[in-house]
Copies of this chain bind each other. A is one copy, B any other.
Amino acid sequence: MPVKPLPFGKAQAQQIAAQYPTPFYLYDAAGIRRCVRALHQAFAWNKGYKEYFAVKALPNPAILRLLKEEGCGVDCASYTELLLAERLDLVGDAIMFSSNDTPAEEFAYARRLGAIVNLDDISHIEYLERHGGLPGAICCRYNPGAFSLDRNAIMGDLHDSKFGMTYDQLIEAMRILKAKGVQRFGLHAMLISCALDEGYYAALAEKMFLLALDIREQTGVTVSFIDLSGGIGIPYRPHEAPVDIARVGKAVRAVYERLVAPAGLEISLFSELGRFITGPYGYLVSTVLHEKHTHKDYIGLDATACNLMRPAIYGAYHHITALGKEDAPCTHTYDVTGSLCENNDKFAVDRMLPRLEAGDIVAIHDAGAHGYSMGYNYNGKLRCAELLLEEDGSVTLIRRAETPADYFATLDTSGLFGDLK
């Protein structure tokens, strides 16, 4: 199985666990940097290309700081995400505020920070005018309804998607924004999620470039940036191949040179990748607490769905490596569980693994995006620490584990928990 080798082994995991008890998240700084550099390389041909990291994927300031060093901006979708950006001095054009059903105070905050605003609905033009005012650079999100990306035979239907504007609304929005004096115009669309098809971005770009030409013809508005959003996936399963981002960049370039350059346009491309950048470089590290043999064989971890929800709610596959047993034959079939009082609290079902026993440490792969950030406190479980494996091999605590005091913090007026540390 072509599973990417772990950037740490059993000895280091044990050493870390002695200081920061499992479970914890461990992020591989070198891997994240490599990924971003490859992304930037792939789109270096495009003047103004910028990656706006989707904060929701991994909202940790240490990660965002690392990404800022690499030249990334941030895609923010809420008040606290804007606050996080501001504290890291990521402001102005470094923020793409891509939200929907947006509260007034969030538009106002985004405007105070000078963010580029991505409008999800035509009615938000007036709403934003009232709550913060229209910015100089504005982007509109497109929802094509049913679509086909012909070159890839990707077909889909966003009729049930709450996001974006219809074609007619988009044209109308451009006219209105132009009349209101907006200077820089952008387009945004996200058609699919977690695509491993390397043609996706090129096919989306073609659709958006044609739309930009259409808009120029119909409204006189010149689109100067196109946000291809997220949607590039990662291989969760061992037999899946990772997306070759250099090929993606090359394919988008070919479309650009065919459609955009001849039309005398210059369009900067943006992306809002999250999962692609941090997903493969985060591990949930957990210790086996129990083995249980009833109608099936179970391995019980000290992590639960509260740490990583995707397997429980989506049935998502996350590869699991037993540290120190990387080369042992997978002779046992286990359900790997957490301790929630929910039968879906399983990290794996019928998974072939080496023989495991209490005390073994396992790494759950591809947990670097939508992992910690989707964590919760069901059953009163506390969320765990996040650690950064630095490029020199050292480990930095970048988020401490929750304590009971954190868990009970919003009950401060109850008078019951004031003494908790």
Interface residues of A (CB under 8 A from B): 54-56, 59-62, 77-81, 83-84, 87-88, 98-103, 120-121, 123-124, 127, 143, 145, 158-166, 169, 289-292, 294-296, 298, 300-302, 309, 313, 335, 337-341, 343, 345-346, 349, 373-383, 397-402, 404, 406-414, 416-417
Q: A83-B404, A375-B376 given. 13 additional CB < 8 A pairs?
A: A56-B380, A61-B411, A81-B380, A84-B380, A84-B416, A99-B341, A101-B338, A102-B289, A102-B290, A162-B300, A162-B337, A165-B294, A373-B377
Q: Is there contact, CB below 8 Å, between A339 and B380?
A: no
Cα of A408 to Cα of B55 in the assembled complex, Å: 14
Cα of A43 to Cα of B326 in the assembled complex, Å: 55
Most buried by B among A79, A143, A412: A79
Cβ–Cβ < 8 Å partners of A343 in chain B: 160-163
CB distance from A346 to the nearest CB of B (A): 7
Name which residue of chain B comes closest to A384, CB basis.
B410
Cβ–Cβ < 8 Å partners of A402 in chain B: 410
Name which residue of chain B comes closest to A145, CB basis.
B295
Q: Is there contact, CB below 8 Å, between B413 and A400?
A: yes
Q: Is there contact, CB below 8 Å, between A59 and B380?
A: yes
Q: Is there contact, CB below 8 Å, between B382 and A378?
A: no
Cβ–Cβ < 8 Å partners of A143 in chain B: 294-295
Cα of A121 to Cα of B380 in the assembled complex, Å: 22
Cβ–Cβ < 8 Å partners of A408 in chain B: 80, 83-84
Cβ–Cβ < 8 Å partners of A98 in chain B: 341
Cα of A123 to Cα of B397 in the assembled complex, Å: 35
Cα of A81 to Cα of B404 in the assembled complex, Å: 10
The answer to whether residues A290 and B101 also contact, given A411-B399, A416-B87 and a CB cut-off of 8 A, is yes
Cβ–Cβ < 8 Å partners of A382 in chain B: 79-80
Q: Name the one of B78, B120, B345 contacting A380, with C-beta atoms under 8 angstroms.
A: B78
The answer to whether residues A339 and B379 also contact, given A400-B412, A416-B88 and a CB cut-off of 8 A, is no
Q: Name the one of B83, B100, B166, B375 contacting A339, with C-beta atoms under 8 angstroms.
A: B100
Q: Is there contact, CB below 8 Å, between B378 and A341?
A: no
CB distance from A116 to the nearest CB of B (A): 16
Q: Is there contact, CB below 8 Å, between A380 and B79?
A: yes
Most buried by B among A60, A81, A375, A377: A377
Cα of A339 to Cα of B300 in the assembled complex, Å: 35
Q: Is there contact, CB below 8 Å, between A414 and B61?
A: yes
Name which residue of chain B comes closest to A288, CB basis.
B101
Name which residue of chain B comes closest to A290, CB basis.
B101
CB distance from A278 to the nearest CB of B (A): 15
CB distance from A351 to the nearest CB of B (A): 14
Q: Is there contact, CB below 8 Å, between A80 and B404?
A: yes
Name which residue of chain B comes closest to A378, CB basis.
B374
Most buried by B among A54, A102, A379: A379
Cβ–Cβ < 8 Å partners of A159 in chain B: 295-296
22 A-B pairs with C-beta separation under 8 A: A54-B341, A55-B380, A56-B379, A61-B414, A77-B339, A77-B340, A80-B381, A80-B382, A83-B404, A83-B408, A101-B337, A102-B339, A103-B339, A123-B291, A161-B295, A161-B343, A162-B345, A169-B294, A374-B376, A374-B378, A375-B377, A406-B406
